[in-house]
Structures are given as structure tokens and as C-alpha cells.
């Protein structure tokens, strides 16, 4: 009997376009492999779509706020139908950069030092605080966004200007900038999928570098690491995946500098577009796109 998969994509986050692309690519591949597929938006008709379509599994193809922060997950819990990727609590923890950092630090996972900045609390001597605690340059980013949306590398001279661009957010993270190599590692279920190195032409692997093919980011796989260092990065990624309580697939973003791996964040809803890293890693290690999707679907059905 053919399995029915309901794909939720689109949404209202700043990553809507990427989510639509992920949903389209997933649907195309599943249809090619004899699944019955329907795509829906996460709107007021969502539960109606679930009820009428009666899917075996719901594939969460959403990115960003409301899609990977526990919000949609709490709605999907009410359906009683298995859904892909992480659950309510783990999604919320991973999306909140401060909470996830606290978990990393508590469990001896190296992550860049940071301070939390609240717009409703005037910070006196901010530049001085940063000089004392972090040193410039620093990375400024929203507390709850994905895909490097509104992330800036700041010097002392442009910090205040960049922070003002983020005034719509209640809180932001100001983090010590770590130079070095950008390496990302993927985990699926209990399996260490693999790692990939990125060499962006831009200042860092930002939104344009991720999703604009003209940005010409160089993808390097296999990563040029010693066996010991490769084992280290994959072990850290697996540890973070487990500590946060993730299921399905995750991608952990690292900086490798002076022999140390710094975990920047863990992404519970990695993209499945033609430019996305997890499918590329999987393909290199002998897992084609449909097999990758089926592993994700399997983890949804066995963890619900």
C-alpha cells in the first residue's frame, strides 16, 4: 500500500522561499518513488488538510520562525500523526541560540563566548563591555532565526549601526567572532552522516552564500581533516544532537580554528534544496536523495 505524505511548506518566516523550495524538491522525489503526496501551507486550514488527506506521515519542510522553533510542532502533536524532524522541546531549544549555548557550555562543548542584548533594557557602555568580555570583531544575530538571516560581522565602528537594523527583535546575541575554517556536520537519527567544508567568496557563509548559486561558495568534501579531528567533529555533532533531544536530521555548524572546533549552532530543519548541504553530504557517502528522505520518514514513524 502506497504511503501518503503530507508536506508542510511555505509559512510566514523570512525563510519562506527556501521552505517552498524544500517542499517542492521533497514532493518531486517522493512522487517519483510512488508515494502519494500533498503539499499544504501552515495556515488555518492545516488541520482540515490533515483530516481530509489522512497522511501516514507529515513531512515538516518549514524553515525559520514558527516552523522550527516548536510552534508548528505543538500543533502537529495534536494530530496524533508522526511528523518529521525534531519535536516541540528540542526544536525550541535548538532555535533559541542562548538556551542551546547554555546546554553546550554545561556539557563541555566549545562555543564562542557571547552576551545577550535586550532592546528593552538600555545597555550602557556596550562597547566597553564587549571589549572586556569578547573583543572585536563580533557576530551580531537574532536570538531565534535560521539560515543566517540578519547576521552581521561587526567592528567597533559599525556595531551600533548594525544593531539598529535588528530593533524589530526583542533580543539578539552578540558573539565573539571566531576566524578559521567553516565546517558543517550532519547527523540522522543515531547515524553520523558526514561533514562538509565551505569556502564562501563572501565575508562568511551568510544567507546569500547559502541560497544564491551566483555567490559561488566552494563546497569541499571529503573535508581535509586528520582521522582524529574528523572523528572529533562528528562526535561533537552527535553529542549536541543527543543533548538537545533531536530526531531525524540535524546539521551542526562549526568553526575550526587553531585545532579547536567551536560549535556555532545546531539546525533541526536543514534545507533539502538543490544547494543544500545535507543531501550533498548524504550523496557523497552513498545515500541518494530518496534514501535520505526515507531515513527521515522512518525516524518520524519510529519516534512518535
Residue 206 has a pLDDT of 43
pLDDT in tens, 246-280: 999 999 999 999 999 999 999 999 999 878 999 99
pLDDT in tens, 23-77: 999 999 999 999 999 999 999 999 999 999 999 999 999 998 898 999 999 999 9
Mean pLDDT (whole number) for 230-249 = 97
How far apart CA 198 and CA 215 sit, in angstroms, is: 12
Do domains 93-110+179-303 and 114-176 share one topology? The answer is no
The grid cell for 247 is: 530526531
Q: Please tell me the class of the 4-84 domain.
A: alpha beta
pTM: 0.89
How far apart CA 51 and CA 137 sit, in angstroms, is: 51
Cβ–Cβ < 8 Å for 139, 123: no
**Under CATH, which number does the domain 114-176 receive?**
3.30.1490.20
Q: What average pLDDT does the structure give for the chain? A: 89
DSSP letters of the chain?
-PPEEEEE---SSTTHHHHHHHHHHHHHHHHHTT-EEEEE-SSTTHHHHHHHH--SEEEE---STTTSSSHHHHHHHTTT--BSS--HHHHHHHH-HHHHHHHHHHTT-----EEEEETTS--TTHHHHHHHHT-SSEEEEESS--TTTT-EEE-TTTHHHHHHTTTTSSEEEEEE---SEEEEEEEETTEEEEEEEEE-SSSSS-HHHHH-GGG-PEEESS----HHHHHHHHHHHHHHHHHHT--SEEEEEEEEETTEEEEEEEESS---STT-HHHHHHHHTT--HHHHHHHHHHHHHHH-
**Torsion sign over Cα 25, 31, 35, 41:** positive
93-110+179-303: CATH superfamily:
ATP-grasp fold, B domain (3.30.470.20)
More confident residue, 210 or 222: 222
Label each residue of 20-31 as H, E or C.
HHHHHHHHHHHH
How far apart CA 31 and CA 40 sit, in angstroms, is: 15
Active site residues: 15, 147, 211, 251, 253, 265, 267, 271
Map out the domains of the chain as residue ranges. Answer: 4-84, 93-110+179-303, 114-176
Percentage of the chain lying above the pLDDT 90 cut? 69
Amino acid at each position: 500500500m502506497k504511503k501518503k505524505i503530507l508536506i508542510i511548506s511555505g509559512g510566514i518566516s523570512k525563510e519562506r522561499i527556501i521552505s517552498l523550495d524544500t517542499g517542492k524538491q521533497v514532493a518531486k522525489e517522493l512522487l517519483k518513488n510512488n508515494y502519494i503526496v500533498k503539499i499544504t501551507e501552515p495556515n488555518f486550514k492545516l488541520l482540515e488538510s490533515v483530516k481530509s488527506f489522512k497522511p501516514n506521515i507529515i513531512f515538516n519542510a518549514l524553515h525559520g520562525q514558527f516552523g522550527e522553533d516548536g510552534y508548528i510542532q505543538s500543533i502537529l502533536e495534536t494530530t496524533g500523526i508522526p511528523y518529521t524532524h525534531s519535536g516541540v522541546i528540542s526544536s525550541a531549544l535548538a532555535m533559541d541560540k542562548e538556551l542551546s549555548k547554555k546546554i553546550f557550555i554545561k556539557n563541555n562543548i566549545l562555543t564562542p563566548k557571547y552576551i545577550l542584548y535586550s532592546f528593552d533594557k538600555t545597555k550602557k557602555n556596550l562597547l566597553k563591555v564587549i571589549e572586556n568580555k569578547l573583543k572585536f570583531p563580533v557576530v551580531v544575530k537574532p536570538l531565534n532565526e535560521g539560515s543566517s538571516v540578519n547576521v552581521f560581522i561587526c567592528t567597533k565602528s559599525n556595531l551600533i549601526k548594525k544593531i539598529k537594523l535588528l530593533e524589530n527583535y526583542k533580543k539578539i546575541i552578540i558573539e565573539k567572532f571566531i576566524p578559521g575554517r567553516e565546517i558543517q556536520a550532519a547527523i540522522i537519527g543515531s547515524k553520523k552522516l558526514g561533514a562538509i567544508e565551505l569556502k564562501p567568496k563572501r565575508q562568511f557563509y551568510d544567507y546569500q552564500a547559502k541560497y544564491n548559486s551566483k555567490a559561488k561558495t566552494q563546497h569541499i568534501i571529503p573535508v581535509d581533516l586528520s582521522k582524529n579531528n574528523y572523528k572529533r567533529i562528528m562526535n561533537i555533532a552527535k553529542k549536541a544532537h543527543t543533548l538537545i533531544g533531536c530526531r531525524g536530521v540535524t546539521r551542526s555548524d562549526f568553526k575550526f580554528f587553531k585545532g579547536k572546533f567551536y560549535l556555532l549552532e545546531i539546525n533541526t530543519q536543514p534545507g533539502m534544496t538543490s544547494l543544500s548541504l545535507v543531501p550533498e553530504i548524504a550523496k557523497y557517502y552513498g545515500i541518494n536523495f530518496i534514501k535520505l528522505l526515507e531515513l527521515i520518514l522512518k525516524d518520524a514513524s519510529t519516534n512518535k
